[in-house]
A and B are shown apart, each in its own frame.
Chain A
Amino acid sequence: MNENKFQDKIDSERKIEPKDWMPEAYRKHLIRQISQHAHSEIIGMQPEGNWISRAPSLRAKMILLAKVQDEAGHGLYLYSACETLGVSRQELIQQLHDGKAKYSSIFNYPTLSWADMGAIGWLVDGAAIVNQVSLQRTSYGPYSRGMIKICKEESFHQRQGYEIMAEMASGTPEQKEMAQDALNRFWWPSIMMFGPHDGDSPRTGNAMKWKIKRQTNDELRQSFIDKTVHQAEIIGLTIPDPDLKWNEERGHYDFGKMDWDEFWDVVNGKGPCNKQRLDHHKKAHIDGKWVREAAKAYSKKQKDLIIN
């Protein structure tokens, strides 16, 4: 009965709100997806955080720091959306530290030059937008509203990243080389951000029926590639895929085979920065324990003062 009403609501494009009845599996799916998204925002601060101290101009420094700060805000926002489903931020962070919760694998790659700040903004935020624009129509109200808010900032990030790439691609030969190298390293992991092919994606089924997901991994990937190829051409960079070709019949670009063995390795912990990223997050959390305790002790004293 409940189940039917729930599905009717979804089919008629009305949002599910925190107090509404929902199947347990729906709740679980959302918690997993939203927390994974939140963790990605937070862990994603690290590769870019790596260059704040070395940004090459005052303007670039301020833009990058503000961007990383935006990502922290996105994380906060998504943790709150997750909390509406009955799980606390503390629990979610514990799951991350225990390796039970995942985050986007793209952040397990190192940032090796300033051009990587361009590549990440352009490609990684760019891919995130394609995904998130689609999620603006997701069936869970708080998640949908979160996405609408976040998307505006992400498109800003994408433009700023592209601007860095464009500048470097038209700069000195060394700068151009850095830009091409960054594209070479980030291209494949970026298009794999959309996840496995639809046939190999175990969870797509219900997520589509419940309209948590509105488009499949392959559809989203294709639309990202179609958008990005032209952008690379404009700034004179080459996408590192010899099989990339316009397909007149499909009205889309064909592209080469992705290395799914590498993808699953990185998802399962065997990537260049998996350990480093998680250790970094844990260390900050552990180092800050005495501060959180002090704040708690102080506010307790204040409350006691009021009561007595």
Chain B
Amino acid sequence: MSLLNYTLRIADSSLISGQRLAEWCTNAHTLEEDIALSNIALDLFGQANILLEYASELDGNKTADDFAFKRNEREFFNLKMTEQPNGHFGDTIVKLFLFSSFNFLFYNKLSQSKNKNLSAFAFKSLKEVKYHLKHSKSWMVRLGDGTKESNKKVQESLNSLWEFTGEFFEMDEIDNELNKKGIGVNNKSIKEDWNNIINTTLLDSKLKRPEDGYMQTGSKSGLHTEHLGRLLSEMQYLQRAYPDAKW
């Protein structure tokens, strides 16, 4: 059960980030960026798909699509950061950058998991996340060190999204149990490397690192912001409205 839960946490973060990023399709400032964001969203859906297939195997009953389209808000375990609305391009980039820098380090550790499914998944995803990090980082620098307006905008994005970074490094019973077994990652152990990525990037971007203040928590037990419910009601609409249909 712990393993299933652990798998869903990772899967859900990918799925919900992908769902948000895909909202950019037809809305980006150039065609090139439209394509880039769709690419990243496709990677994330692909990651979610692999893990939800694995979850389905562990569960023995539900399919991957059941997991994606038939769970309620309280049964989703994605990081709260990932469900936040896209806002403007700077908000999206900050979200993507903070999440990808964490994911990069997390997958790096997870690729050494004793669980073959998780390690293979992490190994495969690492290449993708490297690109997500590179892409978002290059935009952090361009926006931060672009115009006065862009610097101000992206600094504000950073300030308001910062409270969602606390969740990255939390450890609960499930995390501790799986970490002890050599399956899961000790999230606290990647904080220092994460700090390094963040600090050097912010320096290059002429942005200030926000103070740690109130930090959001709760997603590990399925507690979310109000945004997730709306996101799910849209994403799950067809499966819910036509429960007998196959698609």
Query: Which residues of A are in contact with B by a Cβ distance under 8 Å?
Result: 42, 45-46, 49, 52-62, 65-66, 68-69, 72-73, 75-76, 79, 114, 167, 171-172, 174-175, 280-281, 284-285, 287-299, 301
Cα A54 to Cα B242 in complex, Å, equals 13
Report whether over half of chain B's contact residues are helix, strand or loop; otherwise say mixed: helix
Contact with A along B145-157 (1 / 0, CB 8 A): 1110110010000
Minimum CB distance partner of A68 in chain B: B25
Q: Is B225 an interface residue (CB 8 A)?
A: no
In the complex, besides A52-B22, A57-B65, A171-B246, 11 extra interface pairs with C-beta distance below 8 angstroms are: A49-B26, A53-B22, A60-B247, A61-B45, A62-B45, A69-B34, A174-B245, A289-B29, A292-B30, A296-B146, A301-B145
> Are A53 and B38 in touch, CB under 8 angstroms?
no
Q: With contacts defined as CB atoms under 8 Å apart, how many contacts are there between chain A and chain B in the complex?
A: 135
12 A–B contacts from the bound complex (CB under 8 Å): A45-B25, A53-B235, A171-B245, A171-B246, A172-B244, A287-B89, A289-B29, A291-B90, A292-B30, A294-B146, A294-B150, A298-B146
Q: Which residues of B contact A281 (CB under 8 A)?
A: 26
Q: Which residues of A contact B23 (CB under 8 A)?
A: 52-53
Q: Which residues of B contact A289 (CB under 8 A)?
A: 29
Q: Which residues of B contact A65 (CB under 8 A)?
A: 22, 25, 38, 41-42, 45
- Picked from A56, A75, A284, the residue with its CB within 8 Å of the CB of B247 is A56
- Picked from B64, B235, B242, the residue with its CB within 8 Å of the CB of A175 is B242
Q: In the complex, how many angstroms separate the beta carbon of A118 from the nearest chain B beta carbon?
A: 11
Cα A117 to Cα B64 in complex, Å, equals 22
Q: In the complex, how many angstroms separate the beta carbon of A82 from the nearest chain B beta carbon?
A: 13
Minimum CB distance partner of A296 in chain B: B146
Q: Which residues of A contact B64 (CB under 8 A)?
A: 58
Q: Is B72 an interface residue (CB 8 A)?
A: no
- Picked from B25, B35, B141, the residue with its CB within 8 Å of the CB of A49 is B25
Q: Which residues of B contact A172 (CB under 8 A)?
A: 242, 244-245
Q: Is B127 an interface residue (CB 8 A)?
A: no
Q: Name the residue in B19, B38, B42 with the highest tally of chain A Cβ atoms < 10 Å from its Cβ.
A: B38
- Picked from A55, A57, A72, A298, the residue with its CB within 8 Å of the CB of B141 is A298
Minimum CB distance partner of B88 in chain A: A287
Minimum CB distance partner of B238 in chain A: A56
Q: Name the residue in A42, A69, A114, A301 with the highest tally of chain B Cβ atoms < 10 Å from its Cβ.
A: A69
Q: Which residues of A contact B238 (CB under 8 A)?
A: 54-56, 114
> Are B31 and A287 in touch, CB under 8 angstroms?
no
Contact with A along B36-62 (1 / 0, CB 8 A): 001101100110110010000000000
